[in-house]
Amino acid sequence: MSDRVIAITGGHGVLGRAVVEAALADGLRVAVIDHVRGQSAPDGVLELGGVDLTDPASAMNAIDAVAARFGRLDALLNIAGGFVWQTTEDPEPAWARMFALNLTTALNAGRAALPHLKASPEGRIVNVGANAALKSAAGMGAYAAAKAGVHRLTESLAEELKDTSVTVNAVLPSILDTAQNRADMPDADPAKWVAPSDLARVMLFLASPESRAITGALIPVTGKV
């Protein structure tokens, strides 16, 4: 896999950084696409900051820049997203924002990447859904609905691309073991959560040639919850 090129949206978040680290350890060539500006990236990583993936033209420019830099693109890992806990009666509903951050970003990045991925012998799209979107709970409506949209996007795009070399899959994590989640849930047992490094390994497998027999899959990664 040493010559494969992967683009990671939301690459400066906790999960994104774990994927970047694991990808570099595998010898992959890596591009990080994020809305955050001015972040440092490891040596050899193409850093594209200030990218608004909710805008199709901005997404297209970023993906094309990756292909121009490395001469190809083999996999897109859509990690960009966001979360809010909010009841339906909240006076400032976050539904539009949740759909923009989680679903629209994956759609725009995927559409921009498709011409390049189709040119790869083993093109891959790996989306990040959510286990919480399989059965929602109080305060999770907007987030779960947006992630359910990611699930349906994954399935439909996989069907559309079955005559190509491109596969499309999604991971459905439960709670990630992050510093923020530990602070927000001090009474929980983080040993039952998912380590970002473990989720990164699953995503990189789905981004690899070895996953060619899997497409349209929604793969729960839930630790011991």
Residue 51 confidence (pLDDT): 98
Query: What average pLDDT does the chain have?
Result: 94
Query: Which residue ranges of the chain lie beneath pLDDT 50?
Result: 1
pLDDT tens by residue, 104-161: 999 999 999 999 999 999 999 999 999 999 999 999 899 999 999 999 999 999 999 9
Give the pLDDT of residue 198. 93
Instruction: Please state whether beta strands 218-221 and 5-9 pair in parallel, antiparallel, or not at all (unpaired).
Output: unpaired
Kindly report the pTM of this predicted structure: 0.94
User: Beta-carbon neighbour count of residue 141 at 10 Å?
Assistant: 19
Comparing CA positions, the residue from 146, 169, 183, 166 lying closest to residue 216 is: 169
Give the CA dihedral 178, 180, 186, 191, nearest 10 degrees.
0
